[in-house]
């Protein structure tokens, strides 16, 4: 797709988005398969067009719907689209990445006390916190990349991004009471990869490099001294569906609508009920108010990770070049 044909310009600012929804149809029901993630991507596309003025041609949607002619949500395809979006960005642009699907965590290969976070593509490849750090570091001046992750353990998905709403990172086993959880447990993920590679290694990076070669995350293909480091003040903004160690839920269809992620549904409902611009902090706090007051086994607490100056910035909003707020 040629993004230039679909870019919206207003005072030289571009609005671009990559939206991903993975239901994992190859996994058994109740053991990894999800039902509402593609719906989430569709819902978010509608919101971007209707509320924020995105041109449909500037929105790339990737799913794993069987038989679909759309670009499949493989790890390589997701990274290509993210990379293209970053490469074509200009100062002040607003970029948005949305993911609904499984998240996972795993110990760092070089430091077992350090837990890494990732989202899982439909081919079991993953995009790690280190990949997102690399994308954020590649942004031009005053451009922002807002990441909205409706997946388990999504807090901390941009490596070392400061937490502004929520708890600091503290590793321990995630709460698995949410139903059904949007998480691939480490052991289940490792077993799935091992069945594909035939290797007997507890390190998922070994399996991912064997399967995907250079398409695997830079966390596994580059030595630690080559990993990107956080900038003093960057323009990455992460809205996570839960805390770094928290499970989040994929809700079934009911009288109120189709199946979908609890976080995505909450954000869409908030935006519909708040027609004026809303800041990143306000949006996350409102979502916490909704999802944190559910029944005990259904609670989740969305978080905000960004630099201090982006806490009060309008969600997908005010940029440079004299652009008016669009949130």
User: Catalytic residue positions?
Assistant: 102, 152
Tokens of 283: 């949006």
SS (H, E, C) the chain: CCHHHCCEEECCEEEEEEEEECCCCCCCECCCECCCHHHHHHHHHHHHHHHHCCCHHHEEEEECCCCCCCCECCHHHHHHHHHHHHHCCCCCCEEEEEEECCEEEEEECCEEEEEEEEEECCCCCEEEHHHHHHHHHCCCCCCEEEEEEECCCCCCCCCCCCEEECCCCCCCCCECCCCCECECCHHHHHHHHHHHHCCCCCCHHHHHHHHHHHHCCHHHHCCHHHCCCCCCCCCEEEEECCCCCECCEEECCECCECCEEHHHHHHHHHHHCCCCCCEHHHHHHHHHHHHCCCCHHHCCCCEEECCHHHCCCECCCCCCCCCCCCC
Q: At what angle do helices 37-52 and 262-272 cross, to 10 degrees?
A: 20
Whether 149 and 103 have beta carbons less than 8 Å apart is answered as yes
Tokens of 198: 């035939």
Cα gap 48→42, rounded to integer Å: 10
């Amino acid at each position: 797709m040629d993004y230039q044909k679909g870019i919206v310009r207003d005072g030289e600012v571009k609005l671009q988005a990559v939206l991903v929804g993975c239901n994992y149809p190859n996994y058994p029901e109740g053991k990894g398969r999800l039902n509402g993630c593609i719906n989430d991507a569709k819902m978010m596309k509608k919101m971007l067009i209707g509320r924020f003025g995105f041109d449909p041609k500037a929105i790339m949607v990737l799913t794993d719907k069987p038989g679909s002619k759309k670009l499949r949500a493989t790890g390589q395809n997701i990274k290509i689209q993210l990379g293209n979006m970053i490469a074509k960005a200009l100062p002040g642009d607003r970029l948005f990445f949305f993911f609904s699907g499984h998240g996972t965590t795993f110990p760092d290969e070089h430091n077992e006390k350090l837990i890494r976070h990732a989202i899982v593509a439909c081919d079991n490849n993953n995009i790690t916190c280190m990949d997102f750090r690399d994308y954020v570091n590649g942004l031009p001046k005053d451009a922002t990349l807002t990441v909205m992750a409706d997946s388990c353990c999504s807090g901390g998905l941009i490596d070392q991004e400061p937490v502004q709403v929520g708890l600091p990172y503290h590793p321990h086993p995630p709460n698995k009471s949410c139903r059904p959880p949007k998480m691939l447990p480490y052991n289940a993920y490792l077993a799935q990869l091992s069945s594909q590679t035939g290797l007997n290694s507890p390190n998922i990076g070994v399996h991912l490099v064997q399967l995907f070669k250079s398409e695997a995350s830079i966390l596994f293909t580059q030595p630690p001294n080559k990993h990107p480091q956080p900038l003093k003040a960057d323009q990455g903004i992460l809205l996570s569906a839960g805390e770094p160690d928290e499970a989040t839920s994929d809700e079934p269809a009911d009288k109120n609508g189709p199946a979908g992620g609890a976080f995505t549904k909450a954000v869409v409902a908030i935006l519909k009920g708040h027609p004026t611009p809303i800041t990143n902090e306000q949006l996350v706090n409102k979502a916490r108010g909704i999802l944190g007051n559910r029944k005990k086994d259904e609670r989740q607490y969305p978080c905000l990770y960004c630099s201090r100056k982006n806490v009060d910035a309008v969600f997908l909003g005010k940029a440079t070049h004299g652009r008016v707020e669009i949130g």
